[in-house]
Amino acid sequence: MNFSIIIFFVLIFFVFEMRKYRKGKRDRIINHFMNVTFFTYCLLFVKVAFFPIDLVDTSMAVGFRPHNNIIPFTSMWESVTSSVSPTVAMRQVGGNILLFIPLGFYLSFWWKRINCASKSMVMGMVFSLTIEVVQFILSLLLNGIYRVFDIDDVILNTLGFVIGFILFKMARPYITNSFAKKQLLNNKNESK
């Protein structure tokens, strides 16, 4: 998935959101902002989690054969101890955490049922397991040359989701207060 395609879809979605806003469906402006940014995040998420799909097995050429991991912390430990450089290990661990932080933030914004850390953890785990299972199934369909199931990814993604939930809880008073004041001023100006 090319970035120009992502930009194209985001612009189209932005135009639709603005048309909704102008046609009188004046939800709070924060909702429109969150819709556009969430759509952008979803496209980038799909790009990172599923693409590129390699149709040629290049793992043997570099002496690495990907394998499924169901033992917690094994691949994290391997990544840290046998990595070519610390930046590769940090990118692997940090990338899995960072990938799910926005998801935890967005879903906490929209779903009021995610109101505690334990629900956030369960939701993050469900989303992460879904991604890992889809990657595993695609790997089976492509004869093992795609991505692998890794329980460490589930752990790190869940951690990222919970961090996103915590960031939302911290930002919530500022988001609701600043946008509520702006909406109140807009409503007063429209009634005059």
This prediction's pTM: 0.77
In the chain, pLDDT over 90 holds for what percent of residues? Answer: 27
Domain count, the chain: 2
Q: Under 8 Å CB-to-CB from 120, ≥6 apart: which residues?
A: 104, 108, 114, 161, 162, 165
For residue 192, being part of any structural domain is answered with no
The residue-averaged pLDDT of 33-49 equals 87
Assess whether 77 and 93 both reside in one domain.
Answer: yes
pLDDT of 63: 42
CA 121 – CA 123 distance, rounded (Å): 5
pLDDT tops 90 at residue 58: no
Domain that holds residue 148: 56-180
Residue carrying structure tokens 């960031």:
167
Assess whether 77 and 148 both reside in one domain.
Answer: yes
For residue 176, being part of any structural domain is answered with yes
CA 21 – CA 14 distance, rounded (Å): 11
CA 166 – CA 176 distance, rounded (Å): 16
For residue 125, being part of any structural domain is answered with yes
pLDDT tens column, 120-157: 999 999 999 999 998 888 878 877 666 778 899 999 99
Assess whether 157 and 63 both reside in one domain.
Answer: yes
pLDDT tops 60 at residue 1: no
